Amino acid sequence: MTALHWANKWIQEYGGRLLRYAKKLLGNEELAQEVVQDTFLRFLKMKREDIEDKLPEWLFHVCRNRAIDVMRRKKPGVSIEDAELKDTSSSALELLEGNERVRKMLGEINKLPKAHQEIIRLKFQEGLSYEQIAKVTGLSSSNVGFILSTSLKKVREGLGGYADEKGGRGGKN
């Protein structure tokens, strides 16, 4: 695969996912697009061998830093925790008509602190490992695991018996 094909493949595969992530961070479609474009421009300047083995977390990490830059430009001193971690352009809840359990789950997730929501999304939406999330966010892997655990516990408490109605997936171990 040529370098151009390789780069194009990653843009196709991760472009939308980064845009979704950036929109959650920024709550603004246009700013999110700007951030994602900057991320890929950076990507195109990198040497393949420098990033190939860590590309997903590298992309999310650069995207996150860009988003923070944008947030600070708008409001100096702002952090992820302060930011509006929501997608204002389209309500995901509206897309889930007829599925009360899923709707309630998203509602509970959206009640969590912003930084915890981000970790939950990186894990369950983007499928990153603890280590990858740690590299994206700058937290330690163990901290990522603990935040996930406490966040899911809160979600479970908020859901009541909803989660139990759904058969869980099998453990990986």
Partner 1 sequence: MAKIDEIRQAQLLNYALGESTPAERAELERLLKTDAALLAELEEIRATIGLAEEALLREPIPKLPPRMLEHLRSEMQRRPERAPGLFGFSANRYVALAAAAVLVIVVGVVFRNSLTEGPAPFKVARETQPEPQIESAPPAGLLDADAGAAPESKEDAMPIGQKIEAFIIAGSQNDFTLTVAQELTKGVPAPAAPGAELAKDTAQGVPKAAMKKSARSDNAPAAPEENAAEGAGAEAPRARPARIAMMATAITIPSTDSLLALRGSESAMADCLRDGFEADALLTVRVTIGVGETPSKVETVSANKMPLRDRACIAETVENTKFTGAPEGASFTLTIKPLEN
Instruction: Write out the binding residues for partner 1, residues 48-107 only, by CB under 8 A.
Output: 48-52, 58, 61-62, 65-66, 69-70, 72-73, 87, 90, 92, 95-96, 99, 101-103, 105-106
Q: Are 3 and 47 in contact (CB under 8 A)?
A: no
The yes or no reply on residue 166 touching partner 1 (CB under 8 A) is yes
Closest contact distance (angstroms) between CB of 81 and partner 1 is: 18
The yes or no reply on residue 167 touching partner 1 (CB under 8 A) is yes
Q: Which two tokens stand for residue 104?
A: 């309630």
Position 63, amino acid: C
Nearest by Cα to 6 from 39, 45, 52: 52
Q: Judged by CB under 8 A, how many residues of this single chain contact partner 1?
A: 80
Closest contact distance (angstroms) between CB of 111 and partner 1 is: 13
Nearest by Cα to 51 from 7, 21, 15: 7
Among 6, 79, 81, 100, binds partner 1 (CB under 8 A): 6
Interactions with partner 1, residue window 30-49 (CB under 8 A): 33, 36-38, 40-49
Binding mask 100-139 for partner 1 (x = CB under 8 A): -xxx-xx--x----------xx-xxx---xx----x----
Q: Which two tokens stand for residue 31?
A: 């700013």
Instruction: Classify burial at 159, counting beta carbons within 10 Å of its beta carbon; exposed 0-12, middle 13-18, buried 19 or more.
Output: middle
Task: Give the separation between CA 7 and CA 51, rounded to whole angstroms.
Answer: 11
Among 79, 81, 146, 160, binds partner 1 (CB under 8 A): 146
User: What sign does the dihedral 106-108-113-119 (CA atoms) show?
Assistant: negative
